[in-house]
Chains A and B, each alone.
Chain A
Amino acid sequence: MNETVKTAEEKRISANTVKSVAMKLYPFVALFIIVVLFSVWSGGRLLAARNLKTILTEAFRMILGASALAFVISQGAIDLSYGSAIGLCAAIGAISAKAFGPPAVFVTLLVGAVIGLVNGFVHAKLHVNAFITTLSMSFMLGGLLDTILGGGSASVPYSMLNWDSTWLRLITLIVVVAIGYIVFEYGKLGKRCRAVGSNETAARQSGINIANVKMTAYMITGVMAGFLAFFSLIRTGTSTSGTGDGFEMDCMLSLFLGGMPITGGTSAKFRAAIIGGLTMTVLTNGMNVVSLDVLVQQFVRGVIFLAAVALTFNRKTVAFIK
């Protein structure tokens, strides 16, 4: 009698362990598969020295973008204005760079911060749902961007392109990711973001300033948008209406590929931004290297998006996704 009980129980335990280990490993497995797949498919061109530099440039953008967005997504919120914020920051940055050169970075950061502040204010203080708030914001920013650029583009002084260097990117990436990791995993802010994502009512009753936590997270994505806009300017030299386009989706996809649940909460881990950012970079770059049709690329992204969301989302604790 007791025997059968034990074995049934052992089965259950081992099944559970397998499942939780699989959940932890899946982001690594996804990265591995995508690297191997595109290495083979591209006949080794993926990992060639020249392409690696491109990958680094892309990974810089993706990992930093996802790192900042992690603070928003872990609360169960969303920022759909991320890409258009980069677009607007870049346009205003380019124009001001003509006037005062590299210090234009402060302008892009400021513009980003203001966008974040408005998003945060509308969502947290006026209690407009995050989806509506940031979607409307992205429309407004898009409109502003077109008005400023007048359908054309704005370029920065040629000398500013000298600022761009692989080393600068690498060091910035490492420093910012390290700070982000520590703040997210061990800081009050990170813990509060996850608490809000787990149960907002309980967070309020634990004395957490919900509005502050929400506003801070949007400020982080806003400032990051300004930061990335500046790096985009010194790399490409111009700002166009396409700058930042679709960035919010790529960052979200990064996080989900990295194992972050779409509902946020306690199982949100910062490593999702790093691993997922890398996976997303290799995926995007790989599809370009093998010259996949752009429409097919979009389709692949959509499929992966759905698969990643479905995988990371904990069915035990939530009935369905909002």
Chain B
Amino acid sequence: MSDEKKLLFQAKNMYKSFGPTKALVDVSLDVYAGEVVGLIGENGSGKSTLTTIIARIQKGDQEEMYLEGQPYSPPDVIAATAEGICMVTQEQATFEDLSVAANIFIGEEKQFATGPVVNNAQMKKAAKKALENIGVTHINVSTLAGKLVFEDRKLVEIARAVYADPKILIIDETSTTLGKRGRDILYSVINSIRDSGRAVIFISHDIDEIMEVCDRISILRDGHKVAEMEKKDFTSLGIKRQMVGREIEDNFYRNDYDGSFSDEVALRARNLALGCLRDISFDLHKGEILGVGGLADCGMHDLGRILFGLDKPDLGSVETGYGKRIKKNTDAIKNDFAYISKNRDQEALFSVMSIRDNICIASLNKLANGLGLISNKKEKDLVNTWTNELQIKMDNMNQFVMYLSGGNKQKVAVAKWLGFHADVFILDCPTRGIDVGVKAAIYQLLSELKAQGKAIIMISEELPEVIGMSDRILIIKDGLISGEFPRNPDLKESDLINYMI
């Protein structure tokens, strides 16, 4: 097979630095027609840097690329698209104030224009077709993108990229924003591109997914390419070893099947109804990890917002174990609640603020002295403790968060609440985009928090994670709790999926 493979794209001698950080050092990448190339590595190893250079979102310090044997160096993204390379980025890239249709054809409105007037009906029709093209029928093309759930926004981006009919589609760390339905769509898109003799560059931290989807992988470590592997040589341990440069354990979830927790209630949700949530009641106990799963639009992400007092439910109430009502975000923080939104860049973090301020902002009351003032030393100690604990890869703590790699941003969001010493953690996809090594560290931390008697709700699209970590699992379907499962070593993903759809 290897003899007849046709070289579609080639990148050589790629270099890129950001200040003292060498993000890429002499990296090369070959892409053959009809294959899916996986790109994997720890957080901050240079995956997004390499692919955004290929997609022309940024430029390398030094670069040499060929597409179908011809030198490839378009000046910008639009030109790259025209030459046949499109990218679905790790960061959210839809405009919330524009309709789905306008988002799909952003920059391309010309094709629907007569003079200065854009024919909206025609654009909507084309947008609908673009979505149907990837098998999405449930999204209304007239809605504003901001009104869509996270998964659907990502699907819109995928539809946009696929509609341009690229020779190479780059997908950067997208599957963790997708639920089961979204992933199935993504995989069928990938398969159809591969089968039509084009190619996909696929980035993910989920090793099982990588082994399943890819034909070949390139592994990056600290900006260097350290290995390439063919599908026949894939082993989970081998890949991880190459990624982190040392041996790591295969099973990183909790290995106890105790599943016990205190009788003391930490959070009481009663008859919550809002939007598609109809009637949700449960108790969260001290020392309990409660997993919440379901399809992306089942309302589980809204549940997190309600529990932290960000959205007011139409019906029902949220209370602490002592019966204090949580009506506003300030009630939540006073009772030592913590919340991490799934929408990392816009909500969980201040992108244009230093790592230091991001970590300290929730803890101001705890750091301040009687006069409401905060000493530099206290702030720095807090930040140092948690950036070390979570191995956040950064130049220094005064760097803006926007310059961190995706996974390291997520770590900052986690560090903020660990430093706050919350009692109740409401975590919406807490390990989104985090590499296997640090994921293991975070799971370890969650276990320690549990042992300390903290209460944790983990809302997640990752069923293995929900099964692996939870003492109890709630599955939400159509706005109601459709199933409840105690911790059990025999629990399978398929058992849960039955209750989701």
Task: Tell me if chain B binds chain A.
Answer: yes
**B339, B351, B364, B368, most chain A CB atoms within 10 A:** B364
A189 to B361, CA, bound (A): 11
In the complex, the number of residue pairs spanning A and B with C-beta atoms less than 8 Å apart equals 102
A206 contact from B15, B328, B346, B416, Cβ within 8 A: B416
Closest to A8 in B: B61
Decide: A317 and B374 in contact? CB cutoff 8 A.
no
B310 touches A195 (CB 8 A): no
The answer to whether B62 touches A191 (Cβ under 8 A) is: no
The listed residue (B354, B364, B373) touching A266 by CB distance below 8 A is B354
Choice from A5, A16, A207, A265 contacting B353 with Cβ under 8 Å? A265
The answer, yes or no, to whether B126 is at the interface (CB within 8 Å) is: no
Query: Is A199 close to B, CB under 8 A?
Result: yes
B200 CB–A CB distance under 8 Å:
no
| Residues of chain A in range 1-31 having any CB-CB distance to chain B below 8 Å | 1, 4-5, 8-9, 12-13, 16
Binds A, one of B108-116, B179-187, B242-250, B329-337: B329-337
Does B13 interact with chain A (Cβ within 8 Å)? Answer: yes
Q: Could you say which of B357, B360, B373 has the most chain A C-beta atoms within 10 Å of its C-beta?
A: B373
Find the A residue at minimum CB distance from B375.
A186
Complex contacts, B347 vs chain A, CB 8 Å: 201-202, 205
The docked-state distance in angstroms from the alpha carbon of A65 to that of B308 is 38
Chain A contacts for B13, CB-based, 8 A:
1
Q: Is B443 close to A, CB under 8 A?
A: no
Shortest CB distance B423–A (Å): 13
Closest Cβ of chain B to A16, distance in Å, is 8
The binding surface of chain A is classed by DSSP as: helix
Question: B350 within 8 Å of A by Cβ?
Answer: yes
Q: How far is the CB of B332 from chain A (nearest CB, A)?
A: 6
Contacts of A5 in B (CB 8 A): 15, 17, 61-62
Q: Is the CB of A204 within 8 A of B310?
A: yes
Report the separation of the CA atoms of residues A15 and B17 in the bound assembly, to the nearest whole angstrom.
14
A-chain residues with CB within 8 Å of residue B351 when the two chains form the complex: 199, 317
Chain A residues with CB under 8 Å of B402's CB are 317
Out of B61, B332, B374, which one reaches A188, CB within 8 Å? B374
Closest to B328 in A: A209
- Kindly supply a per-residue 1/0 record for chain B positions 250-271, scoring 1 wherever the CB is within 8 Å of any chain A CB and 0 otherwise: 0000000000000000000000
- Assuming the contacts A5-B62, A9-B61, A206-B362, asked whether A188 and B350 have C-beta atoms less than 8 A apart, the reply is no
CB neighbors of A among B319-378 (8 A): 328-330, 332-333, 337, 339, 341, 346-354, 357, 360-362, 364-365, 368, 371-376
Residues of A close to B373: CB separation below 8 A: 182-183, 186-188
Nearest chain-A residue to B341 (Cβ)?
A205
Q: Any chain A CB within 8 A of the CB of B69?
A: no
Are B350 and A199 in contact (CB-based, < 8 A)?
yes
Q: Are B330 and A266 in contact (CB under 8 A)?
A: no
A205 touches B372 (CB 8 A): no
Cβ proximity bits A174-200 to B, threshold 8 Å, 1 near / 0 not: 000000001100111101101100110
B354 contacts which chain A residues (CB < 8 A)? 266
- Could you tell me which residues of chain B, from 16 to 43, have a CB within 8 Å of some CB in chain A? 17, 19
Interface centre among A1, A5, A206, A208 (most CB of B within 10 A): A206
Docked-complex contact A207 and B362, CB < 8 angstroms: yes
Task: List residues 194-232 of chain A with CB under 8 A from any CB of chain B.
Answer: 194-195, 198-199, 201-209
CA distance A206 to B15 in the complex (A): 38
Interface residue total, chain A, C-beta cutoff 8 A = 33
* Contact call A266/B361, Cβ cutoff below 8 A: no
A contact residues around B362 at 8 Å (CB): 206-207
B357 touching A191, Cβ below 8 Å: yes
Q: How far is the CB of B40 from chain A (nearest CB, A)?
A: 25
In the bound complex, what is the Cα–Cα distance between A12 and B376 (angstroms)? Answer: 31
Q: Mark B200-227, 1 if CB is under 8 A from A, else 0.
A: 0000000000000000000000000000
**Are B61 and A265 in touch, CB under 8 angstroms?**
no
**Quick one: which of B61, B308, B364, B375 contacts A191, CB cutoff 8 A?**
B364
User: For window 55-114 of chain B, which residues contact chain A by CB distance below 8 Å?
Assistant: 61-62
Q: Is the CB of A207 within 8 A of B330?
A: yes
In the bound assembly, the distance between CA atoms of A195 and B353 in angstroms comes to 8
| B side interface size, CB within 8 A | 41
Q: How far is the CB of B11 from chain A (nearest CB, A)?
A: 15
Please name all residues of chain B whose beta carbon is closer than 8 Å to the beta carbon of A205 when the two chains form the complex: 308, 310, 329, 339, 341, 347-348
Contacts of A191 in B (CB 8 A): 357, 360-361, 364, 374
A residues within 8 A CB of B341?
205
Contact indicator A188/B357 (Cβ below 8 Å): no
B352 to chain A, nearest CB (A): 5
Q: Are B372 and A188 in contact (CB under 8 A)?
A: yes
Query: Contacts A195-B357, A199-B350, A265-B352 hold; do A207 and B333 have CB atoms under 8 A apart?
Result: yes
Q: Are A187 and B372 in contact (CB under 8 A)?
A: yes
Alpha-carbon separation in the docked complex, A266 to B368 (Å): 19
- CA of A266 to CA of B357, assembled, Å: 9
Q: Give chain A residues whose Cβ lies under 8 Å from the Cβ of B349.
A: 199, 202
Q: Check A204 against B374 for contact (C-beta < 8 Å).
A: no
Q: Is the CB of B350 within 8 A of A202?
A: yes
B27 to chain A, nearest CB (A): 12
CA distance A181 to B148 in the complex (A): 43
Complex formed: what's the CA distance from A207 to B328 in Å?
9
B399 to chain A, nearest CB (A): 12
Complex formed: what's the CA distance from A202 to B17 in Å? 30
CB contacts (< 8 Å) of A182 on chain B: these are: 373
Chain B residue contacts of A201, Cβ below 8 A? 346-347
Knowing A9-B61, A187-B372, A187-B374, the reply to whether A317 touches B361 (Cβ < 8 A) is no
* A314 to chain B: closest residue by CB: B352
CA gap between A188 and B364 in the complex, in Å = 6
Contact B17 A9 (CB under 8 A): yes
A192's nearest neighbour on chain B, judged by CB, is B364
Contact A198 B350 (CB under 8 A): yes
- Identity of the chain B residue whose Cβ is nearest the Cβ of A17 in the assembled complex: B19
A217 to B195, CA, bound (A): 61
Q: Give every chain A residue within 8 A of B61 (Cβ-Cβ).
A: 5, 8-9, 12
State whether A204 touches B329 (Cβ < 8 A): yes
| A195 and B350 contact, CB distance less than 8 A | yes
Q: Which residues of B contact A8 (CB under 8 A)?
A: 61-62
Cβ contact within 8 Å between B62 and A317: no
Q: In the complex the two chains form, what is the Cα distance from A141 to B94 in whole Å?
A: 43
**Footprint of A on B, CB under 8 Å?**
13, 15, 17, 19, 61-62, 308, 310, 328-330, 332-333, 337, 339, 341, 346-354, 357, 360-362, 364-365, 368, 371-376, 400, 402, 416
- Extra pairs beyond A5-B61, A187-B373, A188-B374 (18, CB < 8 Å): A4-B62, A5-B17, A8-B62, A12-B17, A16-B19, A191-B357, A191-B361, A191-B374, A195-B361, A199-B350, A201-B346, A205-B339, A205-B341, A206-B361, A206-B362, A207-B362, A209-B329, A266-B353
List 21 A-B residue pairs with CB atoms under 8 Å apart, sorted by A's residue number.
A5-B61, A12-B61, A182-B373, A188-B368, A188-B372, A191-B364, A191-B374, A194-B353, A195-B353, A199-B350, A199-B352, A202-B349, A204-B329, A205-B329, A206-B333, A207-B329, A207-B330, A208-B330, A209-B330, A317-B351, A317-B402
Closest 3 CB pairs of A and B: A207-B333, A266-B353, A198-B350
